[in-house]
A = this chain, B = another copy of it.
């Protein structure tokens, strides 16, 4: 398609050349690329054909990283596209990639390290220019520069020990600590924990924040109150049921991610809907990750909120900095994004 541009990478097409080829004014080219307002569909088609034929990119930065054989693709591996958190994350990545004239090839790993390995090898085989990966676990081999054949990598949301790559993560420890603190400040002493296994970066760090808050308050962790490893709503509901069925159940629960939160709340709802007026005290919930309709819940809810879309944007920015040669070679950047504790329903 853009063989003309590829054969002479030093020579970049101008908007004037695009306009000439399409038989329109440069203004019409600009309007079309800005969304097509006030430009007839047929004319837009002609302009876009010319854009592709010449390999024209609007963004000046994009030009400077446009090598002869670039695929124009960024590989993105996420763990669960059905989780709105990751949908918004992908939106953020796509938004920044589009500014550089790049598209995203998206794959879902389903929290399966085997599928992650396959996906990444496959994306490398397709010659993506860069990779943004939400890693499923602690395996590092397939994320080493040799396995990636030098393709720049950014880890997002989770980091991996032994992988020297740029990373953007959340302030997991601080967010979990402050979330748990709100429960302690409200007088709770038996605080349950629902979350991921500690082999997952975020699972480990959020548990650490929970522990730190308890220790600071002089409370020893009761292992009966800690349930880890639930990755979907169904298993989270079961874990919550176990907590609520304890002889001495928790008066509050810290949930380390939105899948666990939804599962816990569904279990509370099931008890409310089935009970004959003898529900008893229901636990307050603190949720790492915001969720829709939190203000409608029958129990107090506090969320540890953060911006998934901005996390995606930031991951993409780190990657394009590398691709543009604007990041210092050999110097790894780790960005920690802030979280906000917000009382949704007291």
Contact = CB atoms under 8 A, between A and B. Distances in A.
Interface of A: 1-2, 32-33, 35-37, 41-42, 44-45, 48-49, 51-52, 72-73, 81-84, 86-88, 90-91, 94, 98, 103-108, 112-115, 117-118, 121-127, 139, 141-142, 147, 233, 262, 265-266, 268-270, 272-273, 291-293, 295-298, 309, 345
> Chain A's interface: helix, strand, loop or mixed, by majority?
helix
Contacts of A106: 90, 94, 103-106
B81 A88 contact: yes
B105 A104 contact: yes
A86 B91 CA distance: 12
A118 B33 contact: yes
A295 B49 CA distance: 50
Nearest to A103: B105
A332 to B, nearest CB: 22
Given A81-B90, A142-B45, A266 B295 contact: yes
A50 to B, nearest CB: 10
A122 B107 contact: no
Nearest to A33: B118
A36 B117 contact: yes
